[in-house]
Every structure is written in structure tokens, then in C-alpha cells.
Chains A and B, each alone.
Chain A
Amino acid sequence: ETGVTQSPTHLIKTRGQQVTLRCSSQSGHNTVSWYQQALGQGPQFIFQYYREEENGRGNFPPRFSGLQFPNYSSELNVNALELDDSALYLCASSLPGTYGYTFGSGTRLTVV
């Protein structure tokens, strides 16, 4: 049992559309990070949120944005979808003062 729930599990979108992916973390997990994992590659860091504010960002364009809510849920929004955005998107959260993340099972996004 991971304690981190992501929805939906699979999603198909058309190029140019917008998508919102959701994540529900365990109570008390006030740090959440999102990762993009393309097929056959390692997870790439998109951004981190801490106490509802962006706390670090990887090499992703501004059309990737996020939100973190007081109830330990979070969202990843992607605008103007491109074919290369097709990937598994992973949400990961952690408790204060701990190192390492608990990961969700991911959302598989396919852009056609």
C-alpha cells in the first residue's frame, strides 16, 4: 500500500489540449514532487511543492504547472500538449524531516 493515490490511471489527449493530473498524498506529507517518465527512461524531475508553494523546478517549460492544497492533494497541469508529453507521470510525497519519497502508481498520458 503506497499511501499516494493518482488519478486517472490512464488518459488519452489530443495535441494542443490541456490536462490535469491529480494526486492524493498521506496526511502530513507536506512535500510533493512530480516526475515525468518517458518509456524506457528514468524519471525526470518536473517540480516540487512544499507547503503549497513551488520549491524547485526541473528543466520543463512554463506550460507545466502545479498546485498543492492544504488537504495534501496536488495537481499537475499541462497546457498545449505535445506528442512528446506522452509519458508516465509520477507523484511522490514525503513527511517533514524524512528523506526519500513514497510514489504513486502514476498516470499514463498518451498524446495523439
Chain B
Amino acid sequence: AQSVTQLGSHVSVSEGALVLLRCNYSSSVPPYLFWYVQYPNQGLQLLLKYTSAATLVKGINGFEAEFKKSETSFHLTKPSAHMSDAAEYFCAVSDKNNDMRFGAGTRLTVKP
């Protein structure tokens, strides 16, 4: 069975600071990995995905993530936080059948 663990339910950064949201996965087959963002009272929006091509994946809004098989990690980063980045972020893993499982989420707060 596949699963992801997001380290840190709440991360707080200052505007302009580095954003780092951590995700570790467990999968018995080559995983497909995703980061989604959720704003209050909305659905999930795809930020980026890893599907076995380049290990460094660039997404929307300046976010990127690096797949590290040796560490079973897929951490999300952004060099400079913006106030509009404040939201809930979910890491997810799926198999080739699109059986997708989510982590518990990390709430990002951006301080002015």
C-alpha cells in the first residue's frame, strides 16, 4: 500500500523567506508524486507532479520539488514566500492506476 507522511502540520515563514514543506513516501512500486494546494473552502489545485521523468520538477507559482529515491522524499520548496502562498498543502502518491493517497497536509502561514 502506498502512503505519504508530511512532516509538520504547520509551517510559518516570513514574506520573502524560503519555503520548505516536507513529504516522505512509501510505495512498493515506482511512485507518481504530487503536490496540491488548497485555499479555504475550495478544492485542490495541482502545483506539480513527478511521473518518472526529471527528478527536479517545476510547478506553478514558483514552486518546485525534487524526487529523491534514496531518501524516499519529495519536498516542496519556493525560494521566496509571498503572502498569497498562505494555504494548505497536500502531498500525494499514486500508482499507474491513479489510486491516489494523500498526506494529512501542512498549513503554511506567511508573516508580513
Contact = CB atoms under 8 A, between A and B. Distances in A.
A42 B105 contact: yes
Interface stretch (A13-21, A61-69, A70-78, A103-111): A103-111
Contacts of A102: 46
A105 B97 contact: no
A101 interface: yes
A99 B98 contact: yes
A99 B49 contact: yes
Interface in B59-77: none
A94 B32 CA distance: 14
A100 B97 CA distance: 10
A22 B90 CA distance: 24
Given A99-B94, A100-B94, A105-B42, A33 B102 contact: no
Contact of B51 (A41, A99, A106): A99
A86 interface: no
A45 B43 contact: no
B55 to A, nearest CB: 16
A42 B94 contact: no
A45 B98 CA distance: 11
A81 interface: no
Contacts of A56: 97, 99
Interface in A35-90: 35, 41-45, 48, 55-56, 90
A48 B98 contact: yes
Contacts of B100: 33, 45, 92, 100-101
Given A43-B44, A56-B99, A100-B46, 9 more contacts: A4-B43, A43-B90, A56-B97, A90-B43, A100-B34, A101-B46, A101-B98, A102-B46, A106-B42
Interface of A: 2, 4, 31, 33, 35, 41-45, 48, 55-56, 90, 92, 94, 99-106, 108
